[in-house]
Structure formats: structure tokens, C-alpha cells
Chain A
Amino acid sequence: MAASAGNAIDPIHQFEVTKIVPIQLFGHDVSFTNASLFMVIVLLSVLGLMVYGTRSQALVPGRLQAAAEMAYEFVASTVRGTAGNDGMRFFPFVFSLFMFVLFSNLIGLVPYTFTVTSQIVVTFAFAALVILTVLLYGFARHGMHFLRLFVPSGVSPALLWFVVLIEVISFLSRPISLSVRLFANMLAGHITLKVFGGFVAMLLGAGAWAALAPLPLLGVVALTALELLVAVLQAYVFAILTCVYLNDAIHPGH
């Protein structure tokens, strides 16, 4: 949402990563950027809700504590419902993932902020983390039996190789679909908002056409509501798909 005078209607400018504190580590550029800044803001926001909000450990919760408890119970019921009671060992992981993605999406909706999850490298890192967890846990717990995941039962031997091929491809495409889904939703939503916002600015600067400016403004308002829904929904989708994939690691075989 950042807009400077030079590129007031450049919808891509908001995704630019700019250095704040240049840092070099082992020849890699790990500068503290606006992306890093908002990761820290997201971290502090989640901590504010989950640690500061629950500090009094009240029997009758206040507003923050009630929200923290709701988040806990929501994710806990999602994990339990999707991956069973065994899946609860991954509850802290899924919870952290959900909260990080949710707060990134929501904070990114505030004008002039940076959306952490609008960077493909971030969403792909999350997706890769999920798939690596699935693979490591799957093989650690079931050994080679984990490969039964790719071999559905009750398929005729003639077709089996083909089904296994499809299963392998679908497994390999998971990290891609998981990361691109979140990234593309955030990216497209923010670009659309920016473009409509740009229409308002352009119409206002176009003489009599300024009378039409409220129309895209209404569009921006409606889109903001939609983006709010998308922000929460995509965080939920990310969390529930993580649970589904983890469930495969816990209970391989269909």
C-alpha cells in the first residue's frame, strides 16, 4: 500500500523489498528490510495476543484473553478434527503457522504496510517446512511403510503403476499449490485494491470525470471487505491443508 509521489498508482511498488539495515552474513545479503520489519511486527502482534493477552490467567477472561482462547480452541479443534488426537503433537506448529499467516495477511491489509505473505519465497518456505515435516515424521514413524501413502489399496495391478505415478505427482505438487495459493491470493488482492484506488486518484485529477470517482471508491470499500475475508480464509486454508498433510504422515495408507 505504500505510495510515494513518483509512483502513486504503481500497484507493484507495495511489494518492493527495501533495505533498512544492510547486513552481510557469509556472503549472503540478509539485510534487515521492510519485509523483516513486518515479520517482527507480526511476531510481536501474535505475542501480544497470546502472551500479553493471557498474562493474568483469569478464570473469567478479558477481551484479549478471550480472543487468545478462541484462537487456541479454534486451531485445536481444527487439528483434532483433521489429524485426530495423534495430530495434537503438531498443534504448536500448526498454531504458529496459522497465527503467523493470519497476522501477516491482516496487518498487510492496513494501508502503507508490507504484506509478508505476498512474497512467494515466504509462502514457499512455509510450504516446504510443512512438506519436510511430513516427510521426516512420516519416515521416522513408519519407515518404509510411509511409502504406502502412494499405493492406494484395492487398485488392480494393471493400473497400479499409473495410480502410484499420479499419487507421487500430487504429493510433489502440494508444496507448490500450498505456497502459490496463499501468495497469489495476497498478491492479486492487493494489486486489485491498489488499481481501484488508483482509479479514484486518476478520476479526481480528470476534471468533470471526478464526479465518477466515488464509484471505484465504493469498489475499494467492497474489495477491502472481501480481502478481509480472503485474509482469514487463506490462513485457515493454509492451516487445514497443513493438518491434512500431517495426517498423511501420521496415518499413511488410504
Chain B
Amino acid sequence: MFITQAIAATAAQPGAAAAAKAPFPPFDVSTFAGQVFWLAITFGALYFIMSRVALPRVEKILEVRRLRIEGDLEAAAAAQKSAEAAVAHYEKTLADAKAAVQKNVQELRERLAGEADIRRKALESELNARIAAAEEKIAASKAQAMSNVSAIAAEAAGAIVRQITGREADSKAVAQAVAGVKA
């Protein structure tokens, strides 16, 4: 207060006469009643309108916005949940389809393997049979050939005997001798 009064005292020199009469304006008691009167009116009006109109309105705006945001967030959460459910459903369907396909493939593979096995076995047995038949034929041919060899040998022996002795050889003895050599 000292400083402000000092400034007031020094700065009020142009109107020194007026300053001597009038007190420092904020301390001029004659204005107090009027200021308090108008302050009561204006502040009272402000308080009344704020508490009755403005603040409830702002509160309502904020509340509506809060509810809207909450509702939107809930809707978003629900949408996310349904999306997740759809993803889960899709993945389950995909997995099921994959499993079914694999099962089919496995079955097909097994069936084809079984069929191939059967065909292979049939072919093998057929080939075995043909091999056996061929072997039999070979054996028969061999036996035939061998018997032919005996006959030729006996004939040759008989001829040799005839040339040497000049008479017919006893075919039985010749056959016996050939058999003996052959053994």
C-alpha cells in the first residue's frame, strides 16, 4: 500500500487539487455501497443462471457424450467378439475340411496300395506259375533229351558192336550197358 500511495502522490501532480480532495479510488468509501449493490445483482444473476441453466446443460452434454462413447466402445467390443467368433468358426471349418481331405487321401492311398498289392501278388503268382511251367517244360525237354541220348547211345553201341562182331548185338544187353555207363 505504501508504494501505491507513493505512486499516487507523485503521479497525481497534474490534478493535484483534485487528488487532495478525492481519496485513492479503491479506498473511496462513497463508491462501496453502489459496487456491492451491483456486484450482488450481477454475481447473483451469474450464480442463478450457472446453477440453473449453464452447468446442468454442460453436465448433460458431457453425460450424453460419455454414454455415447461407452455405447460405441461396447458395440466395438461386441463386433470384435463376433469377428473373433467368425474367425474361430472359419478356422474350425478349415481344420475340419483339411482333416476330411487327409482322411480321404489316406483312404485312397490305402485302397490304391491294397489294389496294387493284390495286382502285384496276382502278377507274381502268375509269373511264378509261368516260371514253374517253363521249368517243368525244361525238365521235360531235358528228360526227353536224356532219353534220346540213351537211345542214340544204344543205337551207336549196337552199330559199333555190329561193325566189330559182324552180327546183331543183343539190344537188351546194350541198353543195360548204356544205362550202366549213364549211371
Over the window 16-36 of chain B, the binary record of Cβ atoms lying under 8 Å from chain A Cβ atoms (1 yes, 0 no) is: 000000101111101111111
With contacts A10-B14, A59-B68 taken as known, whether A39 is within 8 angstroms of B39 at the C-beta atoms is yes
Asked if B83 CB lies within 8 Å of chain A CBs, one says no
Is B55's CB under 8 angstroms from A95's CB?
Answer: yes
Q: Are B37 and A183 in contact, with the CB atoms below 8 A?
A: no
> Which stretch of A65-73, A139-147, A169-177 is in the interface?
A65-73
Asked whether any CB of chain B lies closer than 8 Å to the CB of A46, the reply is yes
Whether B57 contacts A57 by the Cβ 8 Å rule is yes
Assess whether B49 is in contact with A51, with CB atoms less than 8 Å apart.
Answer: yes
Interface residues on B, range: 35 or more
- Given A69-B62, A96-B43, A99-B50, CB of A10 within 8 Å of CB of B12: yes
Chain B binding surface SS class: helix
- Binary interface profile of A, 192-221, with partner B (CB < 8 Å = 1, else 0)? 000100100000000000000000000000
Contacts of B181 in A (CB 8 A): none
A11 at the interface (CB under 8 A from B): yes
Any B CB within 8 A of the CB of A238: no
Q: Does A109 belong to the interface (CB within 8 Å)?
A: no
B50 near A96 with CB under 8 A, answer: yes
B89 → A minimal CB distance (Å): 36
User: With the chains together, A187 CA to B25 CA distance in Å?
Assistant: 11
Per-residue A-contact encoding for B57-71, CB less than 8 Å = 1, 0 else? 111111011001000
In the complex, B166 has a CB within 8 A of chain A? no
Contact of B55 among A23, A33, A42, A92 (CB under 8 A): A92
Task: Give, as a whole number of angstroms, the nearest-CB distance from A102 to chain B.
Answer: 12
Chain B residues with CB under 8 Å of A91's CB are 55
Interface on B for A, CB 8 Å cutoff?
A: 3-4, 7-8, 11-12, 14-15, 22, 24-28, 30-43, 45-47, 49-51, 53-55, 57-62, 64-65, 68
A interface residues with partner B (beta carbon < 8 Å) = 6-7, 9-12, 15-17, 23, 25, 28-33, 35-36, 39-40, 42-43, 46-47, 50-51, 54, 57-59, 61, 65, 68-69, 72-73, 91-93, 95-96, 99-100, 116, 118-122, 125-126, 183, 187-188, 191, 195, 198
A-B contact pairs, 29 of them (CB 8 A): A9-B14, A10-B14, A12-B11, A15-B24, A17-B35, A28-B33, A28-B34, A29-B33, A30-B34, A40-B38, A46-B50, A47-B46, A47-B49, A50-B50, A50-B54, A50-B55, A51-B49, A57-B61, A61-B61, A65-B61, A72-B58, A73-B62, A96-B47, A100-B42, A118-B26, A120-B26, A122-B35, A122-B36, A126-B43
